Amino acid sequence: MTTKPYWLILLTTLTLNALVLAGCATSALQATPTASATPFLPRATQTPLPLATTPAASPTAAPTATAPYPPEGYGPTNFPANVNPLTGLPVSDPALLNRRPILIKVQNLPRSDRPQSGLSRADIVYELYTEYGSTRYAALFYGQDAERVMPIRSARYPDINLIRMYKAVFVFGSAYEPIFRRLANSEFGNRLILEGGDTCPAVCRYDPNGRNYLAANTQALQTLLAKRGIDNTRPNLDGMVFNLTPPPGGQPAERVFARFSGAIYNRWDYDPASGRYQRYVDKENDVDQRNEVYEQLTDALTQQPIQADNVVILFVRYEEVDPRPEVEVLDFKLLGKGTAYLVRDGQIYQVNWQRLREEDVLTLVNDAGQLVPFKPGQTWFEVMGLSTRVQNTGATWRFTFGRDW
């Protein structure tokens, strides 16, 4: 590699006593970001879009399940032509489902770049641990478009699980060379979208206040895919089950914490009026785990709070894949079965996640192997380590990320 990797640039900005990993991540993650790795292929220089040329989105209500919703629900197969198999909700135009989902990698740090744009329009969002206490989002767009999704950042090994299971087009900023090689040499290598000379207005620069963000327009991406001859045929996304009626056996869950590190910690508060969970995120570092300070996360695209109908905590085995002791490069396999918690309708359920084949969509099952229904709507997945600590006090649940490597 010809330049210092991102982790080394971050570490050199700190004093040693600030370096506390995982449960106590540091203010290092608040450093002004540079490129997270040397890209395997150089990115073309783009002319940033001036602020006035990209229309701002007007606030729109999230799709909801309206009566009559069938009492038996939808899924895991035979979804009606107008029902999104990733949300269980009818779409405004069934033609939206005659295409591939788009998976976009979105950054979470530094905090000065929040709020992110477009996350409320995603059907599914995964929060993945990356390295040194940081996380990034992988946002999946299918039943709705978003005029501006940003800031886009680089890929990591675990993204491969998501691209395969959702048969998605993948939009990302760059990647470490070995990660890029694995992406480019995969069966989905022709569905990778990087910034380039021909990608605007689908993927281009957006420059409010000189920040020069990389942004994507999911509707404009359809034209780019056609121009490049990329197969955009609707894939089989069967597998999930949706029902408005919560399953039996839940425990009260009015507040759910998902703490990845001293720099990244989240809280989901149940709003009985909407039946959804509102997301609150770290406002400042909390290295010693004694002073978490939260603020509500909004969507810069809609100016509305980020909410979810389902919050799912997945337990997976993160593994160190680089033998060098001075780096942290992680991967996991979201294949087989594992422990999970489903949070919906003010209730929490200990269940199992299941994905038996590479082409399968992730589902939830009980101990008897029966599918557990999601609530119709948007789902956020918090992907945590196998040794994650679970604490419960009344209707409050806390998940604290555990390092497995």
Q: What is the pLDDT of residues 317-368, one digit of tens each?
A: 999 999 888 899 999 999 999 999 999 999 999 999 999 999 999 999 999 9
Distance CA 12, CA 34 (A): 13
Dihedral, CA of residue 79, residue 82, residue 87 and residue 89, to nearest 10 = -110
Which of 124, 123, 104 lies closest to 63, judged by CA?
123
- pLDDT per residue as tens digits for the range 113-154: 999 999 999 999 999 999 999 999 999 999 999 999 999 999
Report the CATH number that the domain containing residue 101 is assigned in CATH. Answer: 3.50.90.10
At 224, is the secondary structure helix, strand, or coil? helix
pLDDT band at 66 (very low <50, low <70, confident <90, very high): low
> Does 12 reside within a domain?
no
Decide if 122 contacts 156 (C-beta within 8 A). no
pLDDT at 220 over 50: yes
The residue whose two tokens read 């890209």 is 39
Same domain, 165 and 286: no
Range of the domain at 102: 51-228
Same domain, 221 and 256: no
pTM of the model: 0.86
At 181, is the secondary structure helix, strand, or coil? helix
Same domain, 259 and 383: yes
Distance CA 153, CA 161 (A): 17
Same domain, 216 and 311: no
What is the torsional sign of CA 187, 188, 189, 190? positive
Split into its structural domains, the chain has a count of 2
Same domain, 214 and 101: yes
Distance CA 202, CA 215 (A): 8
Decide if 254 contacts 185 (C-beta within 8 A). no
78 forms bridges with which residues in the sheet? none
Residues 6+ apart with CB under 8 A from 55: 147
Same domain, 56 and 174: yes
Same domain, 197 and 295: no
Joined tokens for residue 135: 């996380």
> Does 64 reside within a domain?
yes
- pLDDT per residue as tens digits for the range 241-262: 999 999 999 999 999 999 999 9
The residue whose two tokens read 């085995």 is 317
pLDDT of residue 67: 58
Dihedral, CA of residue 302, residue 244, residue 370 and residue 81, to nearest 10 = -70
Distance CA 97, CA 235 (A): 9
Domain end position, chosen among 228, 260, 290:
228
Cα 147 to chain centroid, rounded? 18
